[in-house]
Amino acid sequence: MENNSGTQKPLLGADNNALIALVSINVMVAILLGFLRVVYYLEGFSIAEYQTEIFQIMTLIPQKIASHPWSLLTFSWVHEGFWILFTNMIWLTAFCNVLQNMGANKHLFPIYFYSGLLAGVVYLCIGTEAPFLGAHIGVIALAVAATTMSPNFKLFGNLIKGLPIWTLTGFYLIFTGLSLIEQPWQQNVALLVGGASGIGYMMLLKKGVDLGKWMHQLIHLLNNSLRPKA
C-alpha cells in the first residue's frame, strides 16, 4: 500500500498504535466473556444464567437500557461467536491499516467510539427487542472514513497500478449487507448511521474540526499523571 500522506506510520508495538489497541480490546473482551462462561459452566450454572447475568448486560437491549446504561458504550466491543469476531478483526485491521498509511492513526479510536455511540442511540430511539452488538459498526465507519478521506488512495501499488480504496470499501459493504440481510431492519438503520458518522467525522476534520481532540488531550493528561515523578 502506498503512503500518500507523508506521515510516518506507527510501529507495530508502539504505545500509540491505535490499530493494536482496538484489536486488543475486542479480543480481551472476548477472552474475558469466554472465561466467565467457562466459570459458570464449572460452577454448575446454566448458559441461560450466564447470558442473563453477564453477556446481556454488555449488549445493547433497549428494554434493559435503564438498568444497564453502560451497555451503550460496551455493546460495540462484544461478539457472539469466534468467527464473527475473527471476521470483524480482519476487516478492522485492513481499514485501520489504510487509515494509518494515510496518516490518520490518532483518529481510529474516535471514529470507532462515535460510530458505536451514535448507532446505539439511534437503535434505542427506533425501538425493538432484538439485542445489538458487534464491532462491524465501527468497521463500517472506519471503511467509509478512509474512503471519504482519500477515495483514490491506492492499495497494492506494486501490482499493476493498484486498486483505489473505494473498491475495497464497496466489496466490504456488499459482503456485510449480504450477511446482515436477515437481521432486523432497525439494526441496518443503526448501521447506516454508524457508517454516516465516519463520513461526518472526516468531513469535519477536513474543515479543521477535530472531534477526537478531547480524547487525545485526556489520554495525554492520564499519561502525564501516571508517569513516575523524578
Digit-coded pLDDT (tens) for 107-122: 999 999 999 999 999 9
Query: Residue 6's pLDDT is what?
Result: 39
Exposure class string for 141-172: b at 16+ Cβ within 10 A, else e? bbbbbbbbbbeebbbeeeeeebbbbbebbeeb
Q: What are phi and psi of 162, to 5 degrees?
A: 80, 170
Instruction: Tell me if 13 is assigned to some domain.
Output: no
CB 126 within 8 A of CB 220: no
Taking the alpha carbons at both ends of the chain, their separation in whole angstroms is 43
> How high is the pLDDT of residue 152?
82
pTM of the model: 0.87
pLDDT for position 2: 40
Is 58 within a domain?
yes
pLDDT at 181: 78
Range of the domain at 141: 18-226
Cell output for 98: 489504510
81 domain-assigned: yes
Q: What are the angstrom distances between the C-alpha of 56 and each of 15, 33, 68, 152, 197?
A: 32, 11, 9, 41, 26
Domain for residue 177, yes or no? Answer: yes
Within-domain flag for 3 = no
Is 2 within the bounds of a domain? no
To 5 degrees, how large is the angle CA 128–CA 30–CA 52? 45
pLDDT tens, residue by residue, 25-45: 999 999 999 999 999 999 999
Determine the residue type at 119. Answer: A
Low-confidence ranges of the chain (pLDDT < 70): 1-8, 10-15, 156-160, 223-230
User: Residue 72: inside a domain, yes or no?
Assistant: yes
Q: Please tell me the total count of domains within the chain.
A: 1
pLDDT of 35 reads 95
Specify the CATH number for the domain of residue 48.
1.20.1540.10
